[in-house]
Amino acid sequence: MTAPLKICAVLAAFNRRERTMCALRSFFSQGGDVDLSAVLMDDGSTDGTTEAVQAEFRQVIALKGDGSLYWNRGMAEAFKAACAFGADYYLWLNDDTVLYPDALNSLIQDAQVIQNPQGCILVGSTKDSMSASCTYGGVRSISKWHAGKFSLIEPGAEVQSCDTLNGNVVLISAAAAEVVGEIDTYFSHSMGDYDYGLRAVGAGVSVLIGRNYHGECPRNPVGSAWYESGKIRDRYKRACSPKGLPMKEWAYFLKAHGNAFWFLGWVSSYRRIITG
């Protein structure tokens, strides 16, 4: 008798208890012959997130942060712990994402037909529950000279290739996790998922968008981006914050994945400090 596949979800959370619980419920209600567990990095929540999770889910290992990790570094800690425990597949899951009932089974089916000794990464796609528009998933590069410009790819009835990924729903095989390694903690909040996908492609891992949609996740609201409102001084401060476009982190990303003209892309990215 074949043992069930071990799937470990990887999440980072901060003061979104109810959303985090919904995300975990959607994961643990997935069907199929699977052995489910999860590692959650709770980065200093004060709303009882860890307590609520531990009361309902004995399969979750909850790690404690001090509030300074933000999303990427929180995910890095959780992913590192999950890989130490071991699994057949790891599922990155954003804490505001609700999986469809057959999401995991669909991603596993897509992954199991891929024959690549370097492993595979299947990117799940999400839609907005109100507008039904695609919100997160696989992306493709749209500029030859600017390594930070991507467009979102809508999923279809067949698996599709992509250049990198949003980290909302991502199934990573054990082989791929070993080949690519850890999430780069140079990035504080964002960019780490794009960096991971690009590194995976560069290492020969198959990075693909799974068939159809896998869940729902709202897009960040209009007006929340660092460049969308306020005075020049305010936009500059938000750009430099972990949730903006931190200048050293952005330069690091563009140097790693761009060409000799990466600096031009870096400079052009900050014109919105002036123009909005």
Q: Specify whether 121 is located in the same domain as 257.
A: no
pLDDT in tens, 179-202: 999 999 999 999 999 999 999 999
pLDDT of residue 274: 73
Q: Specify whether 248 is located in the same domain as 158.
A: no
Sheet architecture: strand order including 98-99: 98-99, 215-216, 126-127, 134-136
Q: Specify whether 143 is located in the same domain as 258.
A: no
Residue 195 is assigned to a structural domain of this protein: yes
* CATH number of the domain where residue 152 is located: 3.90.550.10
Q: Specify whether 59 is located in the same domain as 109.
A: yes
Residue 225 is assigned to a structural domain of this protein: no
Q: Specify whether 239 is located in the same domain as 205.
A: no
pTM: 0.95
Our count of domains for the chain comes to 2
Q: Specify whether 126 is located in the same domain as 250.
A: no
Q: Specify whether 22 is located in the same domain as 119.
A: yes
pLDDT of residue 275: 76
Handedness of CA 163, 169, 174, 180 (dihedral sign): positive
**What six digits make up the tokens of 80?**
């590192």
Q: Specify whether 162 is located in the same domain as 58.
A: yes
Strand partners, 38: 9, 60
Q: Specify whether 172 is located in the same domain as 258.
A: no
Residue 224 is assigned to a structural domain of this protein: no
Among 166, 182, 216, the domain boundary falls at: 216
Residue 83 is assigned to a structural domain of this protein: yes
Q: Specify whether 131 is located in the same domain as 197.
A: yes
Residue 200 is assigned to a structural domain of this protein: yes
Average pLDDT over residues 217-226: 72
Q: Could you tell me the residue range of the domain that residue 265 belongs to?
A: 232-275
Strand partners, 40: 11, 62
What phi, psi does 218 have (nearest 5°)?
-75, 145
pLDDT in tens, 77-89: 999 999 999 999 9
